[in-house]
Structure 1
Amino acid sequence: MSWLPTLIKACYFLAALLFILGLKRMSSPRTARGGIVWAGVGMLLAVLATFALPGMHNRGLILAAVVIGVSAAWWTGRRVAMTAMPQMVALYNGMGGGAAAAIGAVELLGFAAAAHVSFAMSAQVGGGVSVGDTFSYRQLPDAAPLWLALVGALIGAVSFSGSMVAFAKLQGWMDKRFVFPGQRLLNLAVLVLAVACLVAIGNDLLLPWLIAAFFVLALLFGLMMTLPIGGADMPVVISLYNAFTGLAVAFEGFVLGNEAMIIAGMVVGAAGTLLTQLMAKAMNRSIGNVLFGSFGAVAGGAAQTIEGAQKPIEASDAAVMMAYAERVVIVPGYGMAVAQAQHKVWEFAKLLISRGVKVKFAIHPVAGRMPGHMNVLLAEAGVPYDLIADMDDINPEFPNTDVALVIGANDVVNPVAKTDPASPIYGMPILDVSLAKNVIVIKRGRGTGFAGIENALFYADNTRMLYGDGQAAAGELVTQLKSIDG
């Protein structure tokens, strides 16, 4: 069947096309669902084509692994709550990086075995090999796959262990941050040792213990790099590791000579890198700071003193204020996700709309714990896409907004980001909620956000605090609004 290789390559090309078109459709909430389906069909086509590769072995084991993986993903995907979506994304992303690292490990061990055979054959034929010679991959036709396998394994291992830590933090199994003196130097030392092992292996030292040490150090670096990261930086972390996973898959695709892996990995790596840049910009961080800085660190200097006091409001008064408003902007944050209040918030918004109030939802790029977290929750609640506005579009509208309702958002609406150079969030673009005529903040208590600083918005003259669980407070607003005569 001389036509089979051509057919397989054609399937890979079509799969790659579906990946790219699917990613393009994911850029809009209106077409994102279709984009996911397109990309899924592309992946199915690539898997089926791979089964037809000449010389493919262990098809039964591969099929069993696919069935187990698909079944586990289907079961967890159906059961996981929308509020737990960030940790599921982190977990699945880590699995992708781990798979790439595992491919690299298998290939490296294969290279070592081939070098051992080459060494033994050379000794048998009197090739001038002495007892002290190391196993040499240079005796094989091409050294390029070895270096690609090493780089892909390093990136994949870092992504795997880092994503597992991110998952544990998001799941609440680990403290938000873990820091100690000299942490950066220790992290750098671990990375240097991992790279040293990489270079040694790439330069003929294909020894099993050295390969094992290389993977241990790579996994350790991913773990240690993620430990000091706070929850407020999780959108950047998830995006960064997503890019790492894509790059690792691409490198291992070159090793295996698999076009589908190369293209899919490069697309994911490029998209993840771009998203990381956008997330970093939204938090006023450079990529260098994201890669080598201390996420969530507190800036030095004395912060500005916030004067005044938080002024509470009852749900009945808040409902009346919004019932007779002309424009209301709702700003959701992670607190809404924790309280699973998105359905009640949308119910309240629909009641306002039925009274003729113009309602919009304002989304900050890093609100929540992953890119697009708030968009996913609002879509799950049924909020129409045309009512959801991003930061750049909605900010000019706040001065003409009668009431801004903030539910669970903290640092992304804190005006000190524009007024206090000593603040750790200074320079971060924020939603200009403070410019609204009136602000109502639904908040569980008087604590600070993930950045660990007070929010000047809560003490402003035009702000009132509606204390309580997000879902309970939204439900009370619904009840009070229904009791108001139209």
Structure 2
Amino acid sequence: MLQHEFVSAAAIAASVLFILSLGGLSNHEKAKRAVWYGIVGMAIAVIFTAMGPKIGGYGWMIPMMLIGGLIGAWLSRKVEMTEMPQLVAALHSFVGLAAVFIGWNAELERARVMAIRAAGVSFDGLSAFASTLAHKTPAELSFLQGEVVLGVFIGAVTFTGSVVAYGKLAGKIGGKPHKLPGGHLLNAAAVGLCLVLAIAYFNGAGFWTLVILAALAFFIGWHLIMGIGGADMPVVVSMLNSYSGWAAAAIGFTLSNDLLIVTGALVGSSGAILSYIMCKAMNRNFVSVILGGFGGPQGPAAEIEGEQVAIDAGGVASALNDADSVIIVPGYGMAVAQAQNAVSDLVRKLRDAGKEVRFGIHPVAGRLPGHMNVLLAEARVPYDIVLEMDEINDDFASTDVVIVIGSNDIVNPAAQEDPNSPIAGMPVLKVWESKQVFVCKRGQGTGYSGIENPLCFKDNTRMLYGDARSSIDSLVSMID
């Protein structure tokens, strides 16, 4: 009894720490402390769950925990910030697959308990989980079936969806949307078959229904995310984060683990809220996002006139020396080049010269929500000059120079000017309204999303080609 009380108290403490961690992440200055809240909360959760009543198999559990911990420590040191989005997607897939396996195992144990009850023999020798099931009423076991169906379905969708997201973010799968003939009808048919299988499962059809249901859900997850274009991958990562949370909550109900229920609900709800906020920022329909129904072209895009005009670092430095106000717009290209420290040096030198320097951050800049903010904080850029899109968008018209570093879609005027653009209607940073725009870019390609940007062809835009870090380092040395 005392052991159970300790576990319950630990669950409450861990839940409080997780809530504090989520709350603190909304503020730059509190973010580091918030991360430590999450680390301590997770340590408490793991340790006290392992010490819970009727928990055994430590000969297997402890080595697996040590191996997992060592792999996590190795990854944390090996993975660069540019690879963080695909790492997050990969971790989401683990949660989804765990939900599928736990759901399958729960059904096997439930069927075993039901068979023993029917035979009228002793329940001795059962696993801890099966022993818990043995004390449940038939109604409670039926409720467990509903938890199993939800866990398996959500987990399977999360698993394959996250694997595809990982592939797209890592460049192993093309960023353009791909759908099989039939599109949404295929997804709808698969969902309908899942519903039929769930009904059959509830009526005693057997374990095979869950296996086929999982296979169909694997297809749905794969097809949903394959149908989403690269420009929208930050929203996809956030959405899959929400899915993994709900999958974890379903696992918690199945295992009667209150802490897992709370943690999963926190992750699921916060991920859903973040996805909704990002959809508003991109002028996307939330339901359409959930159904994987965006990211494809709406029709033939408008023809782009003009040509891209290159400039060297000396020309950009000259414009910066003459400017009074400068706005820097970072994107994934800054992350790839690891140019954030060079950008920080440039900002410091420009501010020392008496110039007003600020950053314009789009809500979906990079490939992960908050990606640019983290990189700039790492480079010790002052928080007060890092502004969100809504805070700075009206100031571009009165700005002398804008430097765009590795951004494409978030500064693309086609979002407002071309109704046939794949990103039509998406709010963007209006950098083209400034007096001069310099775009730091590796080459003339369309970038990850495959969408051409008319900004690069405008009369007041010049292209600074090359590696972003080398380009910015060159500028730093030329600023008076």
TM-score (norm 1): 0.91
| Separation of aligned partners in 2, 1:439 and 1:265 | 45
Query: Do 2:201 and 2:207's aligned partners in 1 also have CA atoms closer than 8 Å?
Result: no
| Separation of aligned partners in 2, 1:68 and 1:46 | 18
| Separation of aligned partners in 2, 1:107 and 1:480 | 66
Query: Do 1:441 and 1:465's aligned partners in 2 also have CA atoms closer than 8 Å?
Result: yes
1:352 pairs with 2:346? no
Compute the displacement of 1:87 (Å): 0.7
Compute the displacement of 1:376 (Å): 1.9
Compute the displacement of 1:298 (Å): 0.5
Indicate the residue corresponding to 2:196 in structure 1. 196
2:181 maps to a residue whose letter is: P
Compute the displacement of 1:405 (Å): 0.3
Query: Do 2:107 and 2:207's aligned partners in 1 also have CA atoms closer than 8 Å?
Result: no
Q: Secondary structure at the match of 1:360?
A: strand
2:383 maps to a residue whose letter is: Y
| CA RMSD in angstroms, aligned pairs only | 2.0
Describe how 1:50-449 pairs up with structure 2 within 5 A.
50-121=49-120, 139=138, 141-177=140-176, 178-205=178-205, 207-300=206-299, 302-449=300-447
| Separation of aligned partners in 1, 2:171 and 2:320 | 35
Query: Do 2:397 and 2:435's aligned partners in 1 also have CA atoms closer than 8 Å?
Result: yes
Compute the displacement of 1:245 (Å): 0.8
| Separation of aligned partners in 2, 1:455 and 1:211 | 47
Compute the displacement of 1:121 (Å): 4.5
Q: Secondary structure at the match of 2:464?
A: strand
Q: Which range is displaced more, 319-328 or 186-195?
A: 186-195
| Separation of aligned partners in 2, 1:187 and 1:400 | 48
Indicate the residue corresponding to 1:126 in structure 2. none
| Separation of aligned partners in 2, 1:477 and 1:196 | 63
Query: Do 1:298 and 1:451's aligned partners in 2 also have CA atoms closer than 8 Å?
Result: no
Alpha-carbon distance change, 192 to 480 in structure 1, aligned in 2, over 3 angstroms: same
Q: Which range is displaced more, 50-59 or 189-198?
A: 189-198
Q: Secondary structure at the match of 1:254?
A: helix
Alpha-carbon distance change, 371 to 281 in structure 1, aligned in 2, over 3 angstroms: same
Offset from partner CA, 1:453-475 (integer Å, 9 cap, x none): 33222222221111222222222
Query: Do 1:148 and 1:255's aligned partners in 2 also have CA atoms closer than 8 Å?
Result: yes
Query: Do 2:175 and 2:449's aligned partners in 1 also have CA atoms closer than 8 Å?
Result: no
Identity %: 43
| Separation of aligned partners in 1, 2:47 and 2:440 | 51
Moved beyond 6 Å, runs of 4+: none
Q: Secondary structure at the match of 1:144?
A: helix
Q: Secondary structure at the match of 1:143?
A: helix
| Separation of aligned partners in 2, 1:140 and 1:268 | 29
1:436 maps to a residue whose letter is: S
Q: Which range is displaced more, 447-456 or 469-478?
A: 447-456
| Separation of aligned partners in 1, 2:280 and 2:71 | 36
Q: Which range is displaced more, 41-50 or 305-314?
A: 305-314
Compute the displacement of 1:180 (Å): 3.5
Alpha-carbon distance change, 259 to 195 in structure 1, aligned in 2, over 3 angstroms: same
Compute the displacement of 1:202 (Å): 2.5
| Separation of aligned partners in 1, 2:356 and 2:397 | 15
Q: Which range is displaced more, 177-186 or 414-423?
A: 177-186
TM-score (norm 2): 0.92
Compute the displacement of 1:234 (Å): 1.0
Query: Do 1:138 and 1:204's aligned partners in 2 also have CA atoms closer than 8 Å?
Result: no
Q: Which range is displaced more, 109-118 or 320-329?
A: 109-118
Unaligned runs of at least 5 residues, structure 2: 122-135
Query: Do 2:248 and 2:261's aligned partners in 1 also have CA atoms closer than 8 Å?
Result: yes
Alpha-carbon distance change, 303 to 218 in structure 1, aligned in 2, over 3 angstroms: closer
- How many pairs were matched up? 465
Compute the displacement of 1:105 (Å): 1.9
| Separation of aligned partners in 2, 1:192 and 1:345 | 52
Compute the displacement of 1:119 (Å): 4.2
Q: Secondary structure at the match of 1:7?
A: helix
| Separation of aligned partners in 2, 1:259 and 1:64 | 25
Query: Do 2:160 and 2:218's aligned partners in 1 also have CA atoms closer than 8 Å?
Result: yes
Offset from partner CA, 1:347-372 (integer Å, 9 cap, x none): 22222122122211111011111111
